[in-house]
Chain A
């Protein structure tokens, strides 16, 4: 009876979303009166013992280069064996790219109830009920997990990260590692940019910017804040910005600490992708823009005048100018 957390890595580095999952799993273990253990697959460059800071006591590592790239079928078999070996009753994933591939497979393999996109710890006063995001951020569902083993896939950026002083015990784990059927032949990373799905701060712009040549001030703001850039669907469809920047109901749904929307009117489909942001700032020259209703802070004004002044103020704040 323990909580087992899946630690996700890319090129040997632990993903930030896994630190959230580790913290979540450790707090869940405390709530259930049991211990938190974790599993990591593949070769890792980061210091695994340091993940004890997030409250996990023991980390099982399957140190095998065949696991360096995600093959959900191979991963699932290995994790299922780890669940059996550790006697885990709850398995925690981040609802990130890997989690979305592995957690449902594990659910089907173990016939274990799964909540995909959890936004908080379970309510265990009467059963095991977890709140999750539904209708693309427009509502929540309280989902009851009705099996002995349970799987929770935690929405990125919906849980804090603790930094205690624990040190985790790292132990090798022997499980079946099948030869991957999915062979990765090329990896193309956009370097130097903050990945949008993991970004804590996001600067986003829409059609109000009038053309792709005007994104310089948006990129400058993002650079000054160490933020990721995003855009509305209209902008991505027009080819002004790459599709991977499109946030909204049919694009990426994000939940950063700060979302700055510049020249975006705030159609319901766009709001669905960003309304879990903790603080929303809207800059739009139209005072009737629906986005203001969803915003915490706003300026009714011309982006071409407001944004450069904001950038100057941010530089001053950061001591750059």
Chain B
């Protein structure tokens, strides 16, 4: 069993979001970078759990990023990845990134490709689907549970107002969200072992990006809160009905 887990470097969830260069670039000053939480907490940890059940499982990590992505790759290795591949490219175009991951996946011959449900910076929810299409694999998105029985995966996925259970034969691409696994903290043995685990750097294949960011903007500031006395909550109900017209 070979699992490819796609990981992305994102700003920490508490990071202040600001832009530079005339609002065309994210301002990285003082930002703590983390593994995208969905990639780490759900995709990677579920892969590790599968390896704990079947020791012959190999977990490979892939990220598309510059050398500054290496600390998060080492952390993922410390959690339990066996080896990592960094595609040496810096891009925010989903198709470009997915094409690089698909190239790595083709050469590795994986049974499972795991991604997080989306990154918390670009929120595209796109890489898993694009990689699946480029590899011509079935794709189960927004998975909350994943069980394996031989080559049949039983996957629970979110639907509007509930969930559904589906079965699919490997190989398959899966995007993972809450429910798949519980977040873990790397232990000292894992951190020590991660230092010597293989981290291969490969150059990107030639692919044209399909999109480009013209500019960023911050949401307009709120006008300020209108406070109602706690003694007259019915006044709040009146305002929501007559002024805001939402109820």
Contact = CB atoms under 8 A, between A and B. Distances in A.
A251 B121 CA distance: 14
Contacts of A253: 123
Interface in A140-195: 140-147, 181-190, 193, 195
Interface residues of B, number: 79
B151 interface: no
Contacts of B17: 135, 138-139
Interface stretch (A29-37, A38-46, A49-57, A241-249): A241-249
Contacts of A209: none
A140 B214 CA distance: 11
The dominant DSSP class at the B interface is: mixed
The dominant DSSP class at the A interface is: mixed
25 contacts: A72-B129, A73-B137, A97-B142, A100-B118, A103-B126, A104-B126, A108-B131, A133-B123, A134-B122, A141-B213, A142-B213, A142-B214, A142-B217, A143-B211, A143-B213, A144-B213, A144-B214, A185-B166, A188-B162, A195-B161, A243-B178, A253-B123, A293-B225, A312-B234, A313-B238
Contacts of B134: 108
Specify which of A115, A129, A142, A182 lies most central, judged by the most chain B CB atoms within 10 Å of its CB.
A182
A299 interface: yes
Interface stretch (A20-28, A59-67, A81-89, A275-283): A275-283
Given A297-B244, A299-B230, 16 more contacts: A97-B141, A101-B129, A114-B211, A117-B124, A137-B219, A138-B219, A140-B218, A146-B209, A181-B169, A185-B167, A190-B161, A197-B160, A250-B38, A279-B240, A302-B230, A314-B247
A47 interface: no
Contacts of B121: 134-136
Interface of A: 10, 15, 69, 71-73, 76, 95-97, 100-109, 111-117, 129, 131-147, 181-190, 193, 195, 197-198, 201, 225, 243-244, 246, 249-251, 253, 257-258, 268-269, 272, 275, 278-279, 281-282, 292-302, 305-307, 309-310, 312-314, 316-317
Nearest to B92: A141
Specify which of A186, A246, A250, A269 lies most central, judged by the most chain B CB atoms within 10 Å of its CB.
A250
